Structure 1
Amino acid sequence: MADNRWGKRFPTELNGRFGLQQTRRYGMIRDVSLFGLQISSSVCFPEGSLLAVTIHAMSDKNIVLEGRVRWQTRLEQRSMPNKRFGECYMGLQIVRFLEGEDSFRDLCFELCWEHAQKKKLERTVH
């Protein structure tokens, strides 16, 4: 599958809830960008589904958004490190924010800065 996303995604681990109309399912936000995110959970939704998502960010404010499932896959191999067997991974494109858009953007910029610092450190070590 071609990677058509615009912008860099940054790894993170944030608790979240999601669902078709209500956020009843629990999941882990695995990476974020200004335009999308990846969720891992025991539940998969079909491509094209519009999901309600609540992210419990490090700040006191929740981030509430709607996102469309662009891809989904269920992990069937046990040999992949840091991934749970049977876990579903979904890539969401953000459609709109209902709450916390500024908090989400701040989170992305913070993760971008951390990523840049790690890369800078790696370059000085080698």
Structure 2
Amino acid sequence: MADKRNIDRHKKRLPVRFGSGAATKLAFTEDISEDGIFIRTALTWPPGTILQVEMTLPDDEYVFFEGMVCWAKKYPPQLINKVQKAGFGLRIVRFVAGKAAYANLVDEMHARYK
């Protein structure tokens, strides 16, 4: 399947809490971009679902945002590390806190991998 996005994504493993209503589930990002993230997990929600997300950046800054599930691939927990894209892609809808810190991290990734 062709990738329809024209935004640069970068591999980045960051701890993330997420959930609908409250961010109570724990996982890690696999990649990030200026407008979204991919979360590797056995838990998925249907596309269109709005989730609350809390991320901890490498410098221990926190980022809070609402994201919309764009796509999801669900696999049994025992297969998560054996398949390439187990989890879901989120598009950032609205930052609650940490927008500048997140933008700085993405800018650093762009500069490092160009």
Q: Which runs of 4+ in 1 moved over 6 A?
A: none
Name which of 65, 81, 84 aligns with 1:84.
81
Partner of 1:59: 59
Q: Residue 66 of structure 2 contacts residue 94 of structure 2 at CA under 8 Å; is this kept in 1? A: yes
Partner of 2:6: 6
Q: Which amino acid aligns with 2:92?
A: I
Deviation at 1:43, TM superposition (A): 0.9
RMSD: 2.1
Q: TM-score, structure 2 length as denominator?
A: 0.87
Gaps spanning 5+ residues in structure 2: where?
A: none
Q: Residue 46 of structure 1 contacts residue 69 of structure 1 at CA under 8 Å; is this kept in 2? A: yes
| 1:20 is aligned to 2:17 | no
Higher helix share: 1
Identity %: 28
Q: TM-score, structure 1 length as denominator?
A: 0.80
User: Partner of 1:6: helix, strand, or coil?
Assistant: coil
Q: How many residues align?
A: 112
* Mapped partners of 2:82, 2:44: distance in 1: 14
Partner of 1:30: 30
Gaps spanning 5+ residues in structure 1: where?
A: 117-126
